[in-house]
Amino acid sequence: MAVNRSVGRDVHIYDANDTNHPDRKELGGLILTNGVTNANFYSMVEIICFIDSFYVLRDEGGTVVQRDDHPLQPDSYYIITAGKVSYTTI
């Protein structure tokens, strides 16, 4: 029986170009722990997703998340790109 690894996640990643809103497929996520920064999160996204163009991450409120050392906040995040997003399935 498969284990639901998404239980308890408070950070969620979506492709903003997925037009099936509100049934967007969650690409990934994590249970946020102390010390995870916005820059760390960008690196994590680049591990699970291949994005063939420039991109930014935007939070649920529409604010672009800077690639910096500020602490990542619990939220849903959307990959904003003119390119294509593909992802790994593990």
The domains found in the chain, sorted by start residue, are 11-84 (3.10.20)
φ, ψ for residue 47 (rounded to 5)? -80, -40
pTM, whole model, 2 decimals? Answer: 0.86
- Give pLDDT tens digits for 34-89: 999 999 999 999 999 999 999 999 999 999 999 999 999 999 999 999 999 998 76
CB atoms < 10 A from the CB of 74, how many?
Answer: 11
Q: Which long-range contacts (CB under 8 A, 24 or more apart) does 4-13 make?
A: 10/74, 11/41, 11/72, 11/74, 11/75, 11/76, 11/77, 12/75, 12/76, 12/77, 13/45, 13/48, 13/49, 13/76, 13/77, 13/78, 13/79
